[in-house]
Every structure is written in structure tokens, then in C-alpha cells.
Structure 1
């Protein structure tokens, strides 16, 4: 599905044009149960991104936890469909899991790319795809986080750079976020460390599939 570029979008946000809009969908969160075992739980998420006057992209995300079994893959990144035990259907009760508000900021093209060839490439030619540095700055009740990484076409990879609850030796919690536009759907995965003694060993935390609207 082609990416439609809004002509009113600031040029600084062209690399994130595919992310702009309102999104809704569901997925799974991996959370500890009463015994401390990590289990998949169903979530629903609402996400809105819109251009700010300063050339950044506003990010507002709200994720609710549902008392219901986690969906099966591909929505859930950590449920084996061949090993799914019979589950209680749950009550459907909803509670807030996480809410975020912040902004995206696109940087310069990353080094080592042939920008002249990219400018000369025809539409649809992979040579025309350029990688840019990108940051996601998030404010939550417990403080601010800064994620940094790369956007290349309809894909983003981020690593957590700062956090108010840092545990890792470099002053940050080991965590990553990966976003992709697949068949018009926004899919993203948030992985993080669950063991303070092993901050670089990541496991899925949220896995979500979202549709526009």
C-alpha cells in the first residue's frame, strides 16, 4: 500500500509521514502473574500522532489492560499457538496500563549514504530510501524518557537512551522499540529488560497491531 504524503506536512516530518494519524487496535502485554511468572495479557491501544508547529510530531498513546486472554500471533509476539493452554475468558474488565505523551524529532540523514543517488532514484526504487536519525521524547508520570534510533522508509528502530528508573551500567534501562507499516497496518513491538541483574537481556513487553481510524 503506497504512503500518501500530506502536502501540509512540514518537510522535516516527511520521513515519518506514514506514522501520522489516528490508530486503534489490540495486542498483548507480557506481565507477571501472582507467582511472578510472565504471562500474555490482552491490551487495547489508541495512538494519535500529529504535526506540531515546531516541526516535531506529537505522540499521544494510551494502552488499556483487559481481563481477557492474550490474542494469538502475529498480534502477540510471545504466545506459541501450539502451546496455548485452555484459558479463562475473563471478565473483560478494563484498566489503564500505560499512557504516554511526547514528540518525535527527525534528525539528519545518517552517514555513509549516497544522497545524490537517492535524489536521482525513481519512485519505488530502493535506492531512493534514505535513513535518518530520529528521537522519541516521552513524558510520563514517573518522568521523561528519550528514545533514539533510525527511520528508514516505513520502519523505525529505537533504543532507550535515558530513564528516571535507570538500572543499566550506562545509566539506562535496556529496552528497544520497533515500528513498521505492513499492509497499511501499524505494528510495533516494545522489548525491555525484566531482570535488574541482566539489563541487556530483553523480552517482549508490548506487541500491538493498529489500524487507522
Structure 2
């Protein structure tokens, strides 16, 4: 599948470019008696020229015909290359980033490539119920693996010890797997899904609304441009 590179994409986000856009699909849930329960999901990865991508995942239960039944949850967050923040980066607060990115070209980004021929990443993902996770992991080509590094829970939060997530691009579709740890640290399968791309990252054609019965389900997503970047 051709990978579209936005003209305003900062160089250090090129490794994430295959994720950008909107993805829709279905998966299965295993949790507290839920054994392979089907659900639908819409995930968007967007960027605005800064050195991070914004992540949003909306999930919902499906009926036997594959239509939306009721919402499950929403999670949001930010993904970026794991590197020390410098004076030229955005923040704290509303402090603006320098016009010229801290990593201005591919050569400077390549210096961050690790011994596994990929890039270390960090991701902050927030959940409803007073809980937020910081993940660390690796992005190598069209594959991401991340695990909970630290966890913030409020007094109202449910018990949760952390998780491991795997993402990959397979035959043009985004596939992911999520395992959650119990109190002893043992991982258990929680959910997995396969999503197809339904909108480009330019925001002009986001979403074919796979789960909207008013939209012709035979409609194919727009073809992406055949541009690539290093």
C-alpha cells in the first residue's frame, strides 16, 4: 500500500507515517467472561507539524448484523520518538516550538536509530475513569510494540496493572493485539482487531463510515497518492 507523506510532516515522524489517517474495522474482546465478543472500532492518527502524532480510538459493541449497539469506551493520547526534550521543542504549557524542528532532516533522525534497526518510542494514552498510561516501545518499519512503563490512577479508578500492545500493517490493513496484566504481572489476551484505512491524513476524506447503514457499504476508500519518504 502506498504511504502518503504530508508536506508538513516533521522528519522525526516519518517512521510513523504509515499509521496516519483514519482506520475502521472490527475485532474480538476477551475480558471477565467476555469470550470473543465482537466490537467495532474507529482509530485516527493525526499530526499538525509538531513532533508527535495524536491518537484517538473509539470502540463500540456490535449486534449480530454488525451494526453499532452501544459505546464501549474512548481513549486518546500522543505517540512520539523517545528522545530528550530540548529548548526548541514545544512546552511546557503554551511555550511554542522553534520554527525549525529540533531534528530538521532525515540524517539527524537516523542518529536515533537503535541497535534493533528501529526507533524507541513513548506513548501517553488516557482512559476514562481517572487513568493514564505511559508506554515505551519500539517502532520498526510497519510494526509497533509497546508496554506500560508507568501508570497513573485516581482513587476512583478500577484495578489495572498495565499491558502490552502490538500494532502492525498487514496487507494494507492495521492489525493490533492487546494483552493486559493481572496483579501478578501475568499477561492475558484482552482484545484484537483488524481495521482498514478509510481516510487519508489530510482530513479531506476522513471516514467511509463502515458502521453507518446509510452509507453504501460497497463504496471503496479513495486511492492514496503514490508518494513515499525516507
- Return the structure number with greater relative CO, CA threshold 8 A, min gap 6: 2
Conserved in 2, the CA contact under 8 Å of 1:67 and 1:93?
yes
Counterpart residue number, 2:127: 140
More strand by share: 1
In structure 2, the partner of 1:65 is: 61
TM-score normalized by the length of structure 2: 0.64
CA offset digits 1:65-113 (Å, max 9, x no partner): 2244xxxxxxxxxxxxxxxxxxxx8x96622222111111113535436
Query: 1:92 & 1:46 partners in 2: Cα distance?
Result: 13
* Matched position secondary structure for 2:161: coil
- Structure 1 residue 20 and structure 2 residue 16: aligned? no
RMSD: 2.3
Counterpart in 2 of 1:55? 51
Q: Which residue of 2 aligns with 1:43?
A: 39
Unaligned runs of 5+ in 2: 84-111, 155-159, 199-230
Q: What are structure 1's unaligned runs of at least 5 residues? A: 69-88, 114-129, 167-171
1:96 has 2:71 as partner: yes
- The answer on whether the counterparts of 2:60 and 2:68 sit within 8 Å (CA) in structure 1 is no
Does the 8 Å CA contact 1:150/1:156 hold for their aligned counterparts? yes
Separation in 2 of the partners of 1:131 and 1:92? Answer: 39
Taking the aligned partners of 1:132 and 1:62, their CA distance within structure 2 comes to 27
Q: Say whether the 8 Å CA contact 2:132–2:153 is kept in structure 1.
A: no
Per the alignment, in what secondary structure is the counterpart of residue 115 of structure 2? Answer: coil
Runs of 4+ residues over 6 Å off in structure 1:
none
- Please report how far the alpha carbon of residue 203 of structure 1 lies from its aligned counterpart in structure 2 after TM superposition: 1.7
Q: 3-state DSSP class of the match of 1:7?
A: coil
1:164, CA displacement in angstroms?
Answer: 3.0
2:133/2:152 contact within 8 Å kept: yes
